[in-house]
Amino acid sequence: MSLFSSLPPAGKRDGQEKRAPQAIQKVPLLEETTDDAAQAKGDGGAAGREGASPDAVISAMAKIAAHIDTAKKFSKASKLALQLLEAGSVNRGNAGQFFEILERAMETPANSNDLALREDYRALFSAAEERKSIFSEAQQARLEVWLLQTVLANELHTDDTFQFSRLVGKVKEILEALPQYAEGDELPAGPPLLEYGQALPEPSAAPLEGFGPGLLNSEPREALDEPGVSRGDSEEGAKKKKRKKVESPEDDDPFGLESMLPGTAGVESDPFGLEDMIPKEVRRKEEKAKRKREEEERFAREEAEGRRLLAGRRAAVMACLRAAESQYKYTWAKTTVEILIKLAFDNLARFTPPQQAEIESLWTTVRNEQIRRKQGKAGTHKLGKQEVTSYERAASKWAGEKISIRSAVGGEGDGSTVTWLG
């Protein structure tokens, strides 16, 4: 007989029921959200942002392009353009409109090297370089030239001696790749002759205060310059009149005359078949002359664009020379800058006459500084005072201190001590 044999059998407690183990439910993943984000990021997205239509994105680009060529408004406009790039709103469909923003930003190239704007220029064009595949070959060629002035020249304003030397090496490679200057290398006058995509509409001078998160969510107003639409009509009335015009194509042919011309319906260039009366030999000559004219025009456009790119590359190299020369006030950059300026001076024939004069002036400054150093004089770069870094200032201070192991020891400075120093 055991100790617990007299106890009653174990049973269920009141209110306690046996529960079967339940399978662990799968946590729902955010698959739809991930797919939507990947789709929007992959191809640039039709709108780039939720609720932003392609027309709204193009309208935003037009507003940005209207203000980005103004130095006072560039910082704000460039940040908005950068948001379009980062949001994936720029794709192959509207790359021409966005390239118009970059082109207007570089209407005054000197602004890209301004102290107050160069960081914004570098950020915008670096982001455009990361997405350069959406642009055409002609656009990429021009973007490559702009990067030399907006990124390379601005990165030369660094206090890292190793990075500075690396960047100067790039400038030297680009300089040596420039061809010899010829009389026909001047920058062609007028706008670019190559087409860079669909032209933007004439930008309005809307204030930048309207820019913000709601910029892309606002639909563009319909144009009021359509026939039959007056300035006094409301926006809804203008839309109705324009819609009515589109839905009534019979207004173009109210008497149905087009249907009376057999075999020529929809043919506007030769409704009466007059081309058949022209001899074939004459038509062949005209077509050949037309192809020749088109070929000559295309060659002229390519030649003009080549001169434009070459002029931009020379101007970018000059911007790099100025940026490097601004570092000449530091001792650690002197030798590197002197080598670069000397290389430019030895290759004067690769630059235009005004650029040659500027390079000669830079070389004169460098040469005078070398002469002063040989004479044992302190550097007097431009302002008559040598500008040094904090490290060089500390090194100069300690170089003048009197520290000796014998002549300056002892309480009275007589060199005698209690303990012999050997």
The per-residue pLDDT for range 297-322, each reduced to its tens digit, is 888 888 888 888 999 999 999 999 99
Does residue 180 carry a pLDDT above 70?
yes
Instruction: Report yes or no on 99 lying in a domain.
Output: yes
pLDDT at position 8:
66
Rg (CA), the chain: 37
Greater model confidence, 414 or 391: 391
pLDDT at position 306:
86
- In whole angstroms, give the CA distance from residue 241 to residue 228: 7
pLDDT at position 275:
63
**Once rounded to an integer, what is the mean pLDDT over residues 93-97?**
91
Instruction: Report yes or no on 329 lying in a domain.
Output: yes
Q: Which of 135-144, 259-268, 402-411 comes out lowest in average pLDDT?
A: 259-268
Instruction: Report yes or no on 158 lying in a domain.
Output: yes
Residue ranges making up the domain that contains 159: 41-224+295-366
Angle subtended by helix axes 161-176 and 280-325, to nearest 10: 150
- In whole angstroms, give the CA distance from residue 306 to residue 263: 47
Instruction: Report yes or no on 242 lying in a domain.
Output: no
Q: State pTM to two decimals.
A: 0.60
pLDDT at position 62:
92
Instruction: Report yes or no on 244 lying in a domain.
Output: no
Instruction: Report yes or no on 207 lying in a domain.
Output: yes
313-356 confidence digits (pLDDT tens) = 999 999 999 999 999 989 899 999 999 999 999 999 999 999 99
6 phi and psi angles, rounded to 5 deg: -85, -5
- In whole angstroms, give the CA distance from residue 233 to residue 58: 25
- Mean pLDDT of the chain, nearest integer: 73
Q: Hey, is 267 helix, strand or coil?
A: coil
Does residue 272 carry a pLDDT above 80?
no
CA atoms within 13 A on the CB side of 366: 26
pLDDT at position 354:
93
Number of structural domains the chain divides into: 1
- In whole angstroms, give the CA distance from residue 173 to residue 320: 12
pLDDT at position 223:
42
**Once rounded to an integer, what is the mean pLDDT over residues 158-166?**
92
- Structure-block tokens of residue 319: 């911007």
Q: Which of 99, 93, 80 is nearest to 45 (CA)?
A: 93
**Once rounded to an integer, what is the mean pLDDT over residues 54-64?**
90
- Rank 242-246, 277-281, 360-364, 370-374 by mean pLDDT and report only the highest: 360-364
392-418 confidence digits (pLDDT tens) = 667 777 777 766 555 555 555 555 555
Residue 111 pLDDT level (bands cut at 50, 70, 90): very high
Q: Are 165 and 336 in contact (CB under 8 A)?
A: yes
